[in-house]
Structures are given as structure tokens and as C-alpha cells.
């Protein structure tokens, strides 16, 4: 049994060490795979705030992933075509600057999360799962029919966006940016979970009635968690689009929402490093099993099933079991 | 826009809705009785379609194919219930979503493994092929009319089963108080397997019937699954009546929206924009309908008050 804090540090240090090892061995593809782990881990870390702390089973987080992706795609598309984005009276120039794109992705995702959250939190349980799924489908079909930005075919961005002072085309530098963001977000999540807000949210998940009697609104707590969660997943979407230099409606698909959930569960719900561990296992399985058999999804399914049935705390739960408190 | 076209589209919408009802009825029964969200219901639909295609290919008989579809789906449903699903009743929805998501992966890839990635085709039997003339001179495919009739028969059969038989009493009792009916000496795990197999058989039937109009391929179940979820959420989870009303609403909205929204938009803008804007709004329309229903009634039209 390992203390959770050490495990968290070990996983992040391990990712960095692997990337440096790949750099020394001149294997840019491995670095790209590791970057994918980091970005998917970030997206799932976003979901983990809603799911793990808030208990909000959202089967529509692909909405935010996709919004982040399209925020990047649209801004970069206008920059590479030198045509400003006309929004009624507003005319916004496109941009190839990552920080600006990130801010846009966060802002758009957060704004949409407010709306979806306000509507969805009127329901609970299965209905919440289904209404978030429905919002995901709405955006998916909208993206498919939005022909200005590629419709079903998606949108290609020819050159990766830039970050001041760094060469983002160099895989290791882009990896560094993503890892730094992941560490920041995990730090923030950790702070959040320990803050009065996090504690209240935790309580709202477990005993909403008690939270209400001390004068807090469970719905508002959950809404805030949903918005933070969506903003983080949106940021991950922008990075993911930059990794692939491609955006398409599949970023909005419900399979992606399901996969994000799989990452969280695989790693361990509500555990800080869980989503990253989940993403690492997922990408490793995809890569290793994908090389062995075309039908690697079967084995992914079997592993997932075994984890749900027999290892309820996910992989992090196996390595570092949490002491059971009084219920 | 002629009346004939409108009536044809209404019939198409009804037919689509009725097929959704076959899926939704199983889902809503399983949720109502066992409290389980079954994402793998779409896989049972796919299994039904593949079983039908295989049997129709081997024997040439459409009725045998339908029977095989129901039998295969029910059998696999029962096996899955006894091995996996049974362990999920006591867990929360999150575990159910994940475990059944895992089942989708296993079933989809397994089917691809056995049958390959190319779509299979099921033919409409000759005695159901061709159009019929309805009163008013409307030509409509006989097969689609048959689908509507089959769906209505299933609806009646389900109603009879649930309201008029001993099994139905047990199912209704199971929805209300599972401890009590177990205490009264009903073998609850056998009842659950039976309900699950019944839901699976309906999904298999729907898969075979729809597979005849569309192609039979891996992944055919998921779009239908999501629509069926929309249906039961609109209707209120656990309610067969809700599933029926919801299915017709979704079927009609989706079909009529796809045809008439672009026409409607043409009144305001140029044809090309109208076509794309109308089509996109139409594909979003049922999700918008669902959100509106949930905002108005958070537990669906016929759902129990939470």
C-alpha cells in the first residue's frame, strides 16, 4: 500500500521520465502517445470534478471537449484564411496563439456548462445521465451539419498553434506545455477538493438534505462544480485538437463521453491521479492490443467489466486503498 | 406540398416510432423492474438483426429469421443477465453505465470478429413486398404497414401480459417493492432473468424488422439505443404507456422535422441555406423536444414523481 500523495507524484514524474527517455532514444511517436495520455488525463480530470466530488454522472462531457476543439479549430481556421470571424456587428480576427485559444475554449465551455448545468440539474439520477447525453447529441448533430467549418469531414489546421517563447512543433516542447497544464489543474483540483467549497460539494453528493439545512444550496454547488469541470475538459479539447491539428464532430460523440467516463473509472473515481492513470492504461492498451489484434476493443471491454465488477476503486484504489470512513 | 405526401410522412413517422417502441419497451421494463440502465440494449438489437440475416441466408424463410432473431437475443440476454447484469442491480447507475458500455465494446467487436465489417442484407419477403393502395389513393409499402401492425400487436400483447397475467402481476409488484414479493415466495432472480430476456427478445425483433429496411451492420444498435433512451426519458422511465407515447412523439418529430423544417425555412431564406439549416435543426429536434419535456416535467410525461 502506497500513500496516495507519493503515488500522484510518481505517476507525473514517471510520465516526464518516459518522455525524456523517448527524447533520448529519438522516438517522437512515443512522445506523441504520452502527450495524448496527458491531454486525455486532463479531460478526464475535468470530468472527475463533476463525477468524483459532485457525484454528477455526466454522459455528455464530450460537449466541452468538442467545444474546446472547435474553439481552437475556428480561431485557427480564421487565422490561416486571413478572414475575420463575423459575429453580427463584431468582427474577430482569428488567432494562432495558444494562450488566447485556451482562454476562448475555457470561456465558451464554461458558458455552455452554465446553461446545460442549469437545465440538467433540474433532474437527477438516470434523467440527469440522459439529458446530458441528449445535449451531447445536439452538439454532435449541429457540428455535423455546420458546413462552414467542415461539417462531417471536420477541419484541418495545417500548422500547430504557437506559444510565446516555445517551438510547439517540437513534440517534447508541446508535451511539456500539456504536462505543465495538467499539473496545474491537478493542483487546483486538490485545493478545490479540500476547500470549503469542495467539502460542501462532497457533502451535497452524500447527504443533500443536510447541506440544505445548514443553509447551502446543493444545486448551486453542483452547478459550480459542473462549470469548473466543463471548463477543464474544454481546455483539454483545445489541446487535443492542437495535438492532432484536426477537429471533427467525433469530438462531440457520445462514445467519447463514454470513454472519458471509462478513463475516470479505470483509474479510480474521485482520486486525484485516477484520470491520468486511466488515460495511461487506455492509451497503452489501445497501442499494445491494437498492435496485436484488430479487435482490441473486446479486451478493453473485458478489462473494464472486470474492474467494474471486482475492483471498484479502479487501479488507484488497488494500489493505494482509501481508508473507509464512517458512513 | 400535397396531402398525400403529408400522410405518407406521417405513416413513416408512425412506423419509425413503433419500431422505437419495441426497443424502448424493453429498456423501460428493465429499468422499471430492476432499476438498471442497460446501454447494451442496442447490442441485443444488433444481435437480433445478425441472427435474422444469418438464418434468412441459410433457410430463405423470413418468419424463421424473425424467430431466430428473438430467440438469439433472448438467449444472449438471459446469459448476460445471469453472468454480468445480475451483479449490477445493487450498484449505482455509474457502475451500470460502465459495465454495459463494456458489454457494447465486447458485443460490437465480437460481432465484427464473427461476421466481418461488411454490412449484410436482409430481403423483404416476396409476400410482403410492393406497395398497397390505401383509401384516398395513397400508395404505401406493404412491409412498412406490416411493421406498424406488428408493433401495435406487440403493444397489445405487452399490455395483456402486464395487466392480465400472473407474470404481469409479479412484474408490477417487482416495480413497487422487490423485498416484499421476494418475501411472498416469488423467485425474484428468475423473474429478473425472464424480464431481461423478454426485453432482449423485443430488441432482437426490432433489429430484424428494421434490418430488413436498412442494412445489418456492426454499430447499428447505438443510434437506435440513444433514440430509445430519449423515448423513455420523455415518456417517464418505467412506464410502458410513456414509452408508447414517447416513441410516437419521437418518431413523428424526427420524420416530419426532417421533411418539413427545410421547407419551412425556404419561406425565409434561400434554398441552400434552408436545406442545411433545416436539416441540422431537424436532427437536433428530438433532443430539443426531450430537453423541453424534462425542463417542464423532470421525470417525463408519465413518470412517477421523484
Q: What is the average pLDDT across A178-185?
A: 97
**Would you kindly state where each structural domain of chain B is located, as residue ranges?**
3-219
* Minimum CA–CA partner of A265 in chain B: B98
pLDDT digits (tens, 9 = 90+) for B6-39: 888 999 999 999 999 999 999 998 988 888 889 9
Going by pLDDT thresholds of 50, 70 and 90, the confidence category of residue A46 is: very high
Q: Which of B99, B108, B110 is closest, CB to CB, to A308?
A: B99
User: Going by DSSP bridges, is the β-strand pair A85-87/A90-92 parallel, antiparallel, or unpaired?
Assistant: antiparallel
CB contact under 8 A, A125 and B95: no
- C-alpha to C-alpha distance for B4 and A76, rounded to whole angstroms: 49
B79 or B136, which is more confident? B79
Q: What is the pLDDT of residue A1?
A: 52
Q: For A4-319, CATH number?
A: 1.10.3470
Q: What is the average pLDDT across B104-115?
A: 92
- C-alpha to C-alpha distance for A285 and A297, rounded to whole angstroms: 9
**Would you kindly state where each structural domain of chain A is located, as residue ranges?**
4-319
Q: What is the ipTM of this complex?
A: 0.82
Q: Please, what is the average pLDDT of chain B?
A: 89
Q: Does B226 touch chain A (CB under 8 A)?
A: yes
Beta-carbon contacts of residue A142 (< 8 Å; ≥ 6 apart): B280, B284
pLDDT digits (tens, 9 = 90+) for A19-43: 999 999 999 999 999 999 999 999 9
Q: How many CB atoms lie within 10 A of CB B102?
A: 28
* Minimum CA–CA partner of A133 in chain B: B226
B267 or A112, which is more confident? A112
Distance, C-alpha A111 to centroid of its chain: 17
Give the minimum alpha-carbon distance from A324 to chain B in angstroms, rounded to a whole number: 18
Q: What is the pLDDT of residue A226?
A: 97
Q: What is the pLDDT of residue A2?
A: 66
CB contact under 8 A, B229 and A133: yes
pLDDT digits (tens, 9 = 90+) for A57-88: 999 999 999 999 999 999 999 888 888 877 76
Q: Is the pLDDT of residue B303 over 80?
A: no
Q: How many CB atoms lie within 10 A of CB A56?
A: 25
CB contact under 8 A, B279 and A145: yes
B47 or B97, which is more confident? B47
Q: Which of B222, B284, B290 is closest, CB to CB, to A142?
A: B284
Choosing among B42, B114, B258, B294, which should be mutated to test the A contact, i.e. which has the most A CBs within 10 A? B294
CB contact under 8 A, A122 and B295: yes
B121 or A280, which is more confident? A280
Q: What is the pLDDT of residue A60?
A: 93
| Of A6, A139, A117, nearest in space to A65 by CA | A139
- C-alpha to C-alpha distance for B224 and B287, rounded to whole angstroms: 13
Q: Look-up: residue for cell 383509401?
A: B135
pLDDT digits (tens, 9 = 90+) for A285-304: 888 888 887 788 888 889 88
B201 or B288, which is more confident? B201
Q: What is the average pLDDT across B89-95?
A: 85
Q: What is the pLDDT of residue A326?
A: 42
A165 or A2, which is more confident? A165
- C-alpha to C-alpha distance for A228 and A113, rounded to whole angstroms: 8
Going by pLDDT thresholds of 50, 70 and 90, the confidence category of residue A323 is: low
Beta-carbon contacts of residue A207 (< 8 Å; ≥ 6 apart): none
Q: Which of A5-14, A129-138, A144-153, A155-164 has the lowest mean pLDDT?
A: A144-153
Q: What is the pLDDT of residue A292?
A: 80
* Minimum CA–CA partner of B114 in chain A: A295
* Minimum CA–CA partner of A136 in chain B: B287
State the number of CA atoms in the 13 A half-sphere of A26 facing the CB.
0
- C-alpha to C-alpha distance for A38 and A279, rounded to whole angstroms: 8
pLDDT digits (tens, 9 = 90+) for A251-269: 999 989 999 998 998 888 8
pLDDT digits (tens, 9 = 90+) for A129-150: 888 988 998 899 889 888 788 8
Q: What is the pLDDT of residue B35?
A: 85
Report chain B residues whose CB lies below 8 A from the CB of A297. Answer: 105-106, 108-109
Going by pLDDT thresholds of 50, 70 and 90, the confidence category of residue A327 is: very low
Q: Which of A134, A258, A262 is closest, CB to CB, to B230?
A: A134
Q: What is the pLDDT of residue B304?
A: 67
Amino acid at each position: 500500500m502506497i500513500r496516495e500523495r507519493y503515488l500522484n507524484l510518481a505517476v507525473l514524474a514517471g510520465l516526464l521520465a518516459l518522455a525524456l527517455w523517448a527524447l533520448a532514444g529519438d522516438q517522437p511517436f512515443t512522445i506523441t502517445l504520452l502527450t495524448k495520455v496527458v491531454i486525455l488525463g486532463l479531460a478526464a480530470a475535468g470530468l472527475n470534478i463533476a463525477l468524483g466530488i459532485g457525484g454528477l454522472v455526466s454522459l455528455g462531457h464530450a460537449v466541452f471537449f468538442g467545444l474546446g476543439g472547435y474553439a481552437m479549430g475556428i480561431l485557427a481556421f480564421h487565422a490561416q484564411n486571413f478572414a475575420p470571424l463575423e459575429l453580427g456587428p463584431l468582427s474577430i480576427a482569428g488567432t494562432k496563439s495558444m494562450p488566447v485559444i485556451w482562454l476562448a475554449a475555457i470561456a465558451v465551455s464554461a458558458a455552455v456548462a452554465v446553461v446545460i448545468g442549469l437545465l440538467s440539474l433540474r433532474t437527477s439520477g438516470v434523467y440527469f445521465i440522459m439529458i446530458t447525453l441528449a445535449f451531447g447529441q445536439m452538439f454532435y448533430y449541429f457540428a455535423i451539419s455546420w458546413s462552414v467549418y467542415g461539417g462531417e469531414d471536420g477541419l484541418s489546421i495545417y500548422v500547430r498553434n504557437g506559444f510565446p517563447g516555445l517551438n510547439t512543433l517540437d513534440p517534447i516542447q508541446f508535451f511539456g506545455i500539456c504536462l505543465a497544464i495538467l499539473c496545474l489543474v491537478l493542483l487546483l483540483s486538490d485545493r478545490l477538493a479540500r476547500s470549503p467549497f469542495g467539502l460542501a460539494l462532497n457533502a451535497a453528493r452524500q447527504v443533500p438534505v443536510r447541506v440544505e439545512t445548514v443553509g447551502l444550496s446543493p444545486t448551486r454547488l453542483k452547478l459550480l462544480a459542473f462549470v469548473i469541470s466543463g471548463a477543464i475538459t474544454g481546455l483539454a479539447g483545445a489541446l487535443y485538437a492542437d495535438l492532432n491539428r484536426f477537429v471533427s464532430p467525433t469530438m462531440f460523440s457520445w462514445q467519447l463521453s463514454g470513454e472519458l467516463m471509462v478513463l475516470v473509472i479505470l483509474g479510480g473515481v474521485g482520486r486525484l491521479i485516477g484520470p491520468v492513470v486511466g488515460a495511461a492504461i487506455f492509451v497503452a492498451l489501445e497501442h499494445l492490443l491494437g498492435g496485436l489484434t484488430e479487435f482490441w476493443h473486446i479486451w478493453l471491454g473485458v478489462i473494464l467489466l472486470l474492474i467494474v465488477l471486482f475492483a471498484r476503486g479502479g487501479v488507484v484504489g488497488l494500489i493505494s486503498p482509501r481508508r473507509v470512513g464512517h458512513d | 406540398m400535397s396531402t398525400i405526401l403529408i400522410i405518407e410522412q406521417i405513416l413513416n413517422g408512425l412506423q419509425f416510432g413503433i419500431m422505437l417502441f419495441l426497443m424502448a419497451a424493453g429498456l423501460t421494463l428493465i429499468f422499471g423492474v430492476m432499476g438498471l440502465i442497460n446501454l447494451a440494449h442496442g447490442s441485443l438489437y444488433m444481435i437480433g438483426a445478425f441472427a435474422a440475416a444469418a438464418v434468412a441466408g441459410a433457410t430463405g424463410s423470413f418468419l424463421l429469421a424473425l424467430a431466430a432473431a428473438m430467440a438469439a437475443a433472448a438467449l444472449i440476454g438471459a446469459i448476460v443477465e445471469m453472468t454480468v447484469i445480475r451483479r449490477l442491480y445493487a450498484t449505482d447507475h455509474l457502475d451500470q453505465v460502465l459495465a454495459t458500455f463494456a458489454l457494447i465494446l465486447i458485443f460490437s467487436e465480437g460481432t465484427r470478429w464473427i461476421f466481418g465489417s461488411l454490412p449484410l442484407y436482409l430481403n423483404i419477403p416476396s409476400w410482403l413486398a410492393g406497395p398497397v393502395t390505401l383509401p384516398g389513393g395513397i400508395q404505401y409499402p406493404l412491409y412498412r404497414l406490416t411493421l406498424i401492425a406488428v408493433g401495435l400487436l406487440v403493444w397489445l400483447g405487452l399490455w395483456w401480459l402486464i395487466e392480465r397475467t400472473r407474470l404481469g402481476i409479479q412484474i408490477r409488484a417487482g416495480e413497487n417493492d422487490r423485498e416484499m414479493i421476494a418475501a411472498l415466495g416469488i423467485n425474484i432472480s428468475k423473474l429478473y432473468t425472464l424480464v431481461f430476456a423478454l426485453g432482449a427478445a423485443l430488441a432482437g425483433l426490432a433489429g430484424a424488422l428494421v434490418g430488413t429496411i436498412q442494412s445489418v451492420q456492426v454499430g447499428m444498435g447505438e443510434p437506435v439505443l440513444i433514440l430509445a433512451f430519449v423515448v423513455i426519458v420523455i415518456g417517464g422511465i418505467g412506464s410502458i404507456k410513456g414509452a408508447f407515447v414517447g416513441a410516437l412523439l419521437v418518431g413523428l418529430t424526427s420524420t416530419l422535422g426532417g421533411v418539413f423544417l427545410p421547407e419551412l425555412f425556404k419561406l425565409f431564406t434561400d434554398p441552400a441555406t434552408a436545406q442545411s439549416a433545416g436539416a441540422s435543426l431537424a436532427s437536433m429536434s428530438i433532443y430539443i423536444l426531450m430537453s423541453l419535456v424534462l425542463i417542464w416535467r423532470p421525470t417525463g410525461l408519465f413518470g412517477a414523481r421523484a
